[in-house]
Amino acid sequence: MAIRTTRTTDGGSTPDGPSRSDGVSPGLPGSTAPSDREVHPVDELPPPVKLFTTGLQHVAAMYAGVVAPPLIVGAGVGLAPADLALLISASLFTAGLATLLQTLGVWRIGARLPFVNGVSFAGVAPMLAIAEEHGPKDALPVVFGAVIVAGILCLLAAPYFCKLIRYFPPVVQGTVITLIGVSLLPVAVNWARGGSPSAPGYGSVRAIGLAAVTLTAVVLCNKLLRGFWQQLSLLIGLAIGTALAFPLRLADFGAVGDAKVFALPSPFHFGAPVFDAAAIASLCIVMVVSMTESTADMLALGQIVDREADERTLAAGLRADGLATAVSPVFNGFAASAFAQNIGLVALTGIRSRFTVAAGGAILVLLGLFPVLGSLVSLVPPPVLGGAGIVLFGTVAASGIRTLAEAGMEPGAHTILVSVSLGVGIIPIAAPTFYDAFPEAVRTLMHSGISAGCVAAVLLNLLFHHVGAARKSTGSGDPAVSPASPS
């Protein structure tokens, strides 16, 4: 249930009621709040058991997305199994550090929202292209050098990039949030079939049936359970699906037996970073796309947890993305970016505390340091994740539709903006090869339905509500076209 908020002078909002004893306004570093304000649900600290279980639930939702990029890139550069395992552990470790930075924050770095960071999938194709150009032996140092520069770019650009919020009124936010959910649904469908065409039983009745059972279990748990157990409906559904996967031969303990118990990250294990101009340009473009998606995700999350993501919050979140990205290569990790599936989990469970996601970040760090623990989480087969993913990603899309309903969808500019933006965003989902003939910079931007639709929505909003006479005729009093929060 949403709580009543009071507008502050800096464009943010704080909840009515008694406040924290330290007088610091939650989520806004350095600001003060009157003594009659209560703790916002985002800043509530759950009891230890709930903290761990809900944090583990976030890890289960994002695990496959974290390990997929290093698996693909590692295979592309021909890493031996031991080095591939190290690359995966490094991705888990750095994702955990990035998530802790986002949720807990340091100075003006970190959104201080239940915001999960992990390895950006947008960089996989450019990194594979770098591997082809420089050869397997020299590819990773070149990739890591480019990632470091891209992270520094994000860190420096954050205070300026966040000002784009004035071009994200509710109608644009609702469109982008809907696209986030719709863009992720094909991922869930692919997981439900088995995750990869090369996987045993891909597309079989067993795999899809297991996904359907998991989906049913999550829905029934959400319907029949109450309180704390209802909030764990996703984790319970994953457990039921995984238990059924063993007799169906869709899961096994082989990975657990082969995993090391402990592995300390080795800085620059694959060699010192190499700074190549072409590689840097490619990864910087990817970083701009990731910044666009992170901005959209923070706006979506702000709507869900009832704490607006204003300029200050966006800048802090983007700084965390940039710093985490710049530091990740030291520990053999890749670029850090937002994980939208976890936004769906926040919406599904109603648990808005950023400390639950921080607990998930701590678990990710442990999984990176203790590969044997990571192998236990990897027991959850893709069909089980697919069944749960349909609920998660569908919940994100539903949140976007709700935001659009609140913004108003009267015929005219709003209808054109939403319809065209959704159409542009769905093109790369419906036809993944649609932009293959275009230059690499265009492909990088437009192959993501989220970024493509986001750019279209912002440009159409500029056309209808900010250019010339259109801006004057609209007026600032219309809540559907006014900025989500004042600059």
Query: Which tokens go with 111?
Result: 């959104």
Triad 258, 262, 265: Cα angle to 5°: 115
Q: Is 471 left (phi over 0), alpha (psi -120 to 50) or beta?
A: alpha
User: Residue 13: is its pLDDT beyond 50?
Assistant: no
User: Residue 388: is its pLDDT beyond 70?
Assistant: yes
C-alpha to C-alpha distance for 305 and 296, rounded to whole angstroms: 14
Packed helices 48-76 and 354-369: angle between N→C axes, nearest 10 degrees? 50
Rounded to the nearest angstrom, the gap between the alpha carbon of residue 59 and the centroid of all alpha carbons in its chain is: 12
- Cα-only R_g, the chain: 22
Q: 183 burial class (0-12, 13-18, 19+ CB within 10 angstroms)?
A: buried
Query: Which tokens go with 342?
Result: 């976890």
Name the DSSP class of 166. Answer: G
Alpha helices (H) along 306-381: 311-327, 340-349, 354-369, 371-377
C-alpha to C-alpha distance for 90 and 368, rounded to whole angstroms: 6
Instruction: Identify the pLDDT of residue 358.
Output: 97
User: Residue 8: is its pLDDT beyond 80?
Assistant: no
The pLDDT tens digits for 294-322 are 998 899 899 899 998 999 999 999 999 99
Which residues lie closer than 8 Å to 135 by C-beta, 6 or more apart? Answer: none
Beta bridge partners of 117: 338
Instruction: Identify the pLDDT of residue 61.
Output: 86
Q: Which residue has the higher pLDDT, 204 or 380?
A: 204
Instruction: Identify the pLDDT of residue 59.
Output: 92
State mean pLDDT over 265-288. 89
CA distances from 173 to 281, 329, 428 (A): 29, 33, 20
Query: Which tokens go with 307?
Result: 């704490």
Q: Is 235 left (phi over 0), alpha (psi -120 to 50) or beta?
A: alpha
State mean pLDDT over 45-51. 94
For the entire predicted model, the pTM comes to: 0.74
The pLDDT tens digits for 83-121 are 888 888 899 999 999 999 999 999 999 999 999 998 877
Query: How large a percentage of the chain has pLDDT more than 90?
Result: 38
The least confident of 29-33, 77-81, 466-470 is 29-33
Instruction: Identify the pLDDT of residue 19.
Output: 37
Q: Which amino acid is present at 472? A: K
- CA atoms in the 13 A half-sphere facing the CB of 39: 12
Query: Which tokens go with 390?
Result: 């349909």
Query: What's the chain's average pLDDT?
Result: 82
Nearest to 425 by CA among 454, 393, 396, 461: 454
CA distances from 35 to 20, 32, 45 (A): 7, 9, 19
Structure confidence at residue 142 as a pLDDT band (50, 70, 90): very high
